[in-house]
Amino acid sequence: MMTLFNANQIDRISDLPSNVIDVILGNLRIRDQVRTSILSTKWRYMWTSAPHLYFDDDFYQRFLVLDDPGAVVSKIITDVVMLHNGPIHKFSICIYADFDFKITTEDINLWIPFMSRDVKHLELVTHCVFKDPMPDILFSCKELTYFKCSSFILSIPPNFCGFEKLLELHLVCVEFESSALESLMSGCPFLEKLVIELCGDFEYLDISSPTLKVLLVKLEYDIKSICLKKAKNLVDFTLDANYNSLSGLIKSLPKIKRFSMLRGKKIPLADIIPPTLLTSSFSSLEYLKLDEFNLKERGELLYIVSVLKSAPRLIELTIRQVNMNIPMLLGLFLVLVYFDTSIFILQSDNNVDTIQVLDHSEELECSSWGGLKLQTVNIEVEARSQHAMSLIKLILANSPLLKTLTFNYSSEKLGAVMLFRISQDLLLMKRASPRAQVKFLCSTFPPFVW
């Protein structure tokens, strides 16, 4: 009986049924996958039944040295698709390495017929900015549950019968022909997640899908309004807007559980989420994240307080005063690290008053509050923010369930005395939760956290 376990040199993997080997092959990147055909005659065509095909930057980068890598890569993808023999469930092209690489209409018309009956997970993503109309053949992939595509002009063919099984849709750099998005959405009766990233040529976003749960909208261009009232089951909404006319953008919101505002441009929150929406839409809110929030303004502080009142079920709150523009952060980092040590010594006594001990007139009325449900709070500020301290005091005093409050303080100058005063203030604040941990972090550049 023991002989079976000394079988180190015996090849027991090759004899496994092909569906078992397919699971291993399905986890390999395309080059590794196809290279298995040289292992032995048994493996010669084994990869051709693997149900997943991934073409990514790791694959593409090997061809970057060529004059026309795109043409070579398209040819290889075509060869792989033609050689493949069996259902393709996942087909993914995600190539960001070359701005010139384009998936052409001809490519798609050649590849998709080999998989349109079976493909469930389809990604066609490049960095290319030149857009062609989305080939009609894509609309024939009826089994799709996940579809991500970029750089197309979306127009819906008249004979489109819908993506009856689609759960998740990502549109990146897609332009919409008039009412194309609405037609597409109405053909996806079970859609749960929609991501619209850097798409152009539309003024109004009116989402009415009743099954939608998660929505992420990343805007590079001005649009006039976002109306989500009819998406009644939406629970998670993320808005990432990189332009200035955010004011009045959100016209309606259903009752959501998670709201994230990335890159808020320090526009008053009341302009983005009008007080009338607060009471109707935030009553079930559990998670709130606000980036580029202007905590220097007292009006904003008071608005946050009214948000806390309108959102009695809030569990997690993140407020960032800084923006998460990573290249800029790196630049800052380089400059500031260089100066850091000398400034630290020179400035150590000069900044005592940057954050004052709380002035009693500034204190927020909080004794009459019921308990907040907050468990996790993250507040990140740049220098000089009395309001942040007031907010922390209010949260600590009214959150009996609080587990962790992280106060991340970043400034170009860090003085030892000033840091001591902040720590002292934090220590003195009354805490409603006996197990609350208060973490005070400081850095000389905007914190590098996601």
Site residues, other proteins (CB under 8 A): 1-2, 4-5, 8-14, 16, 20, 23-29, 31-32, 34-43, 62-63, 72, 76
Q: 9 or 244, CB closer to other proteins?
A: 9
291: how many CB neighbours lie within 10 A of its CB? 20
Pairing outcome for strands 175-176 and 214-219: unpaired
42: how many CB neighbours lie within 10 A of its CB? 11
Element (H, E) at 384: none
Q: 50 or 388, CB closer to other proteins?
A: 50
Joined tokens for residue 415: 């003085």
Torsion sign across C-alpha atoms 347, 348, 350, 353: positive
The CA distance from 36 to 14, in Å, is 11
CB 29 to other proteins: min, Å: 7
CB 145 to other proteins: min, Å: 18
Q: 46 or 273, CB closer to other proteins?
A: 46
Nearest to 291 by CA among 269, 261, 249: 261
Whether the CB-CB separation of 380 and 319 falls below 8 Å is answered with yes
Q: 40 or 283, CB closer to other proteins?
A: 40
CB 84 to other proteins: min, Å: 14
Q: 54 or 237, CB closer to other proteins?
A: 54
Q: 5 or 130, CB closer to other proteins?
A: 5
CB 63 to other proteins: min, Å: 8
Q: 92 or 423, CB closer to other proteins?
A: 92
CB 97 to other proteins: min, Å: 14
Q: 44 or 439, CB closer to other proteins?
A: 44
* Residue that is written with structure tokens 């020179």 in the block: 346
The CA distance from 135 to 156, in Å, is 9
CB 59 to other proteins: min, Å: 9
Q: HSE-up of 39 (CA within 13 Å, CB side)?
A: 15
Residue type, 146: Y
Phi, psi of 210 (to 5 degrees): -75, -15
Burial of 379 (0-12, 13-18, 19+ CB in 10 A): buried
Q: Cα dihedral angle (76, 78, 82, 85), rounded to 10 degrees?
A: 70
Joined tokens for residue 318: 């993140």
Torsion sign across C-alpha atoms 209, 215, 219, 223: positive
Q: What is the DSSP letter of 9?
A: T
Q: 42 or 439, CB closer to other proteins?
A: 42
CB 193 to other proteins: min, Å: 22
Q: CB within 8 A of 82, min separation 6: which ones? A: 114
The CA distance from 283 to 299, in Å, is 22
